[in-house]
A and B are shown apart, each in its own frame.
Chain A
Amino acid sequence: MLLIECPYCGVRPELEFVYGGQAHVARPHDPAACSDEQWAEFLYWRENAKGVHAERWRHTHGCGRFFNALRDTTRDQFLATYRVGERPPAASSREREPQP
């Protein structure tokens, strides 16, 4: 079971979290202005990264808040977690793993 660092609560076991799909997929501000293709892309097109993936998690059984994470999908390792609205940390600071 992974340890995940909630940016609000700290390191907690994976059981407390729910995965929330790819991060930084913003819902268009004016959906009516989107073409069908643009709307379909918003709905259905997602990264399938082999490597670093920015994704959403929710600390469902904790503070209940959504946050973002960078995870290396090849190693299933969290490189960083950060709050909604924050930019993803730079690659150089991505080597931090939660400590048991």
Chain B
Amino acid sequence: MSGDLRAASGGRIDRNRVLRFRFDDREYTGAAGDTLASALLANGVHLLGRSFKYHRPRGVLSAGADEPSALVTVRRDAARMTPNLRATQVELYEGLEAFSQNRWPSLELDVGAVSGLLSPFIPAGFYYKTFMWPRGAWHRLYEPKIRAAAGLGRAPEQADPDIYANRFAHCDVLVVGAGPAGLAAAAAAAGSGARVILCDEQSEPGGSLLAEPAAHSEAAIAGEPAARWLTRTLRQLTAHPRLTLLTRTTAFGYFPHNLLGLNQRLSDHLPRPDPGQPRERQWQVRAREVVLATGALERPLVFPGNDRPGILLAGAARTYLNRFGVLPGSRVVLVTACDAAYQAALDLHRAGVSVSAIVDVRSGAPDGPLLEAARLAGLPVETQATVLGTSGRLRVRAIRIQKLDSAGAPAGPVRRIRCDLVLMSGGLTPSVHLFSQSRGKLAWDESLAAFLPGQAVERVRSVGACRGVFSLAAAVSDGTGAGLSAARDAGFSVSAAIPEAPLPESAAAGRPGALPQPPGVSGEKAFVDWQNDVTARDLTLAAREGFRSIEHVKRYTTTGMATDQGKTSNINALAIVARELGEAMPRVGLTTFRMPYTPVSFGSFAGFARGELFDPVRATPMHDWAARQGAVFENVGLWKRARYFPLPGEDMHAAVARECLAVREHCGIFDASTLGKIEVAGKDAATFMNRMYVNAWANLAVGRCRYGILLRDDGFIYDDGVVARMAPDRFHVTTTTGGAAGVLALMEDYRQTEWPDLDVWLTSTTEQWAVIALQGPAARRVLEPLIEGLDLSAGAMPHMSAARGRICGIPMLLMRVSFTGELGFEINVPADFGLPVWQAVFETGQAHGITPYGTEAMHVLRADKGYIIVGQDTDGTVTPDDAGLAWSIGKGKPDFLGKRALERPALASPYRKQLVGLLTRDPQQVLEEGAQIVPGRHRSAPEPALGHVTSSYHSARLGRSIALALVGAGRSRIGETLYVSMPDGDIPVQVTSPVFYDPQGSRLNG
């Protein structure tokens, strides 16, 4: 038999299947069907953790998702360690290993509990007040110490090895919650022909019915015992072809247009999960109609010492007794503010637990069938009373109560009652989390003392306890009606009569706020938020300090934060603040419910998008060849580009220098396939290009290329690239690697919305072409033997020309262009032929010293020539003139993107930052890119920088460092000495032309 405190029979556990498990390295046994919490309670273990701030001993408060205290870490192995799980939701399996949190050295003896003694000095917001001085100590000293002392479980240090799946689904009706109302709704909707998804966070459907005693339940639905109704309904639902039932599935978020996020836990309950199967599956369900049957949560009562282990919610005790067969104590005191909780005392009494007292804290004279039953059973009922405090270090041992006088104030003798179990019920709070997330309005119901779903925004209905319909028969009828009307509104013909929606019931209204206390300050804390250690006094203090908005009170005191999200604390906190402010509760308002309803693992959100699947990778046709050559790659957008090709023993600097010299002296081969390519075609292609780019396109002859500059309409450089005219009505436009998608989008925008009359078509051809750049004085000699039908001589194919031909028999677009300043060609072949052509060129080039070079050498080679890289030497505030490219602007064009903006005075000013070159006095010193440029070395006051370094390299060919910079009125400063701020001081630099190499371009035209 597992545990000592197990009732001999009853419950939904299997007493014959004994499960061994460990908690804090001690071995226990439980039964199949247990949660970790129920199994520990069956073993008499109430102390499960230490609280967040004061390190107070804490036990189980609830039996479900609302558990704020019993947070544990469950460990399968070093990588599979999940912190902050609610013990009430952890299903027991053979060999389960769990640990308590936030304690040292042990749970029973926790050194951190000393902070409880210091608690008068650490009220709400204490860290805002106390740790203000000295400056800087917050980051170095206070915050790390506070974080180490306060906290929850620790995150695992290894990568998560598990698989997480995701799935998209559509349905006619999604029902959230498989309690009586949800089951009835699902059955009614599916019966009407709708496709239904029904989800529930628990391991089995049934909701509140699971806590009903099977043997002698008075609960009945239309004359049928509830247990039998549940079995029958489930059998009917699971056999239904249009219904998908998801257990262990939490609807954690409600997104626009009836999209709900569901997290299904697939294997956490299994002793040995198959590592090949997903651990969780996240569903994104788009539903025509949604039925929320999310139930209600029981509120704790706020009285001093209400947080000791052994103090539970009354409904939770019923669940432990009736569902798990656990006797959570032997002498019980029930403190209640509503009728429903009397059932817990009656059930425990019937199970043989001694009921020492029922303390009814309501004013007036409560009455009702359950009170009558308690009196008939001989249970001692104390009405109009309050709780002054409790005692017991690691488990409650006694409770002190006092009567209330006619004015509702504590009066008369204080009675101390010995007990080992205190149950409390402050009433029920409908779970409106999802409804509120759907942006539905909440309406305060005074008689229920609760916020209920009001005006909906989405196509959603709330049924049962989550809208205040608590009694079983009414909730089932409510569910049936909503299921039928949801199916009808989803387009199905519903023959059955739709029952009238029942009215909310006030029987569980309870008593929000703190219980009355005698005057004077009690030393004991009355907790409102167990998880964040927020007390009633913290809230009144916040109100007295001037926090009037409940949202500000939440942030100041942290009440309702973290996984609690107000489940247990919201209404009590609101009542306390409202009372302190003298305002009605709805006027004080409610904090926003945020998703997720309960924590969802990061893995569930990541799904399959991790590792290699995290982001798509774009690789060129020559990628594998480069990888085999030992290339080091860099990411450019999603592309992988070869950065350099180190030979054995070479570092980057050596490799780049060698590659640069090879291009300058012999021939380099470079993979330029990532360049964006757009084909602009149609009768009005030239007109379109004229309007988009700054250049004059009308006079560009077929077979010629031009360096194009694209501005935005604000006049700043957006992109650049070589454009070839392939036919009178066809341009081959190249863009920067990173800018390709944006350029096409910009072109499409103007084509569709500004000039829809133009006959022009835009097609991305980036991935259709593989591009092999062949650069260097030997480029022509390497290429010639491979080419058919083209004369490559300078006369026939000058710089900036383009022609079609064949290479190795493959159709080719050949462009004579150069981004290095050397004689150069770019061979465009269909992507599938990229690799064989590359290999053929490389083979032929062996005799000419051909060398593959990467993007790093490309950067250095272009900087030698002062060629800009958009996005590096420009930053979205640079005009063509700033970049020294005013020559490219077509003269006499009436309009192009950015033309009008360039005429604005600020953009035509001679004092704008202009692109210049910088040379350090020490030729070996390489400036830092981004470094600021100032006029003088010795400066006393801060002064505005003149500009900054945009590109800086060691140029192998020039044997020295070079840099490009944007400098205010830079071209007028050529020859001046300025200073660059570097980490070890200001460096003198000479301002020069940005063209460092072959300014006449004789090599280019060779």
Contact = CB atoms under 8 A, between A and B. Distances in A.
Interface of A: 1-3, 18, 20, 26-27, 30-32, 34, 36, 39-40, 42-43, 56, 58, 60, 64-66, 75-76, 84-85, 97-100
B713 interface: yes
B901 A43 contact: yes
A40 B288 CA distance: 46
B714 interface: yes
Contact of A36 (B714, B756, B905): B905
B4 interface: no
Given A75-B457, A85-B756, A1 B904 contact: no
B899 interface: yes
A3 B900 contact: no
B286 interface: yes
Contacts of A40: 904
Given A1-B256, A27-B713, A100-B257, 11 more contacts: A1-B255, A1-B284, A2-B256, A30-B895, A31-B900, A34-B900, A36-B903, A43-B713, A43-B714, A100-B258, A100-B287
Contacts of B903: 36
Nearest to B712: A43
Interface string B726-752: 000000000000000000010011001
B899 A31 contact: yes
A69 to B, nearest CB: 14
Interface in B899-951: 899-901, 903-905
6 contacts: A31-B899, A36-B905, A39-B901, A56-B753, A58-B745, A100-B286
A20 B256 contact: no
A20 B753 CA distance: 11
B894 interface: yes
Nearest to A65: B752
Interface residues of B, number: 30
Interface of B: 170, 255-259, 284, 286-288, 439, 457, 459, 713-714, 745, 748-749, 752-754, 756, 894-895, 899-901, 903-905
Nearest to A56: B753
Nearest to B744: A64
Contacts of B745: 18, 58, 60
Contacts of A32: 894-895, 900
A3 B287 CA distance: 12
Residue of B756, B899, B900 with most partner-chain A CB within 10 A: B900
A39 B256 contact: no
A84 to B, nearest CB: 6
Contact of A100 (B288, B439, B754): B288
B752 A66 contact: yes
B665 to A, nearest CB: 46
A98 B257 contact: yes
Nearest to B439: A75
A34 B713 CA distance: 14
Given A84-B753, A84-B756, A100-B287, A2 B257 contact: yes
B290 to A, nearest CB: 10
B45 to A, nearest CB: 44
B438 to A, nearest CB: 12
B761 to A, nearest CB: 12
A97 B895 CA distance: 41
Contacts of B904: 36, 39-40
Contacts of A99: 288
A9 to B, nearest CB: 15
B753 A66 contact: yes
B439 to A, nearest CB: 8
Contact of A1 (B259, B287, B905): B259
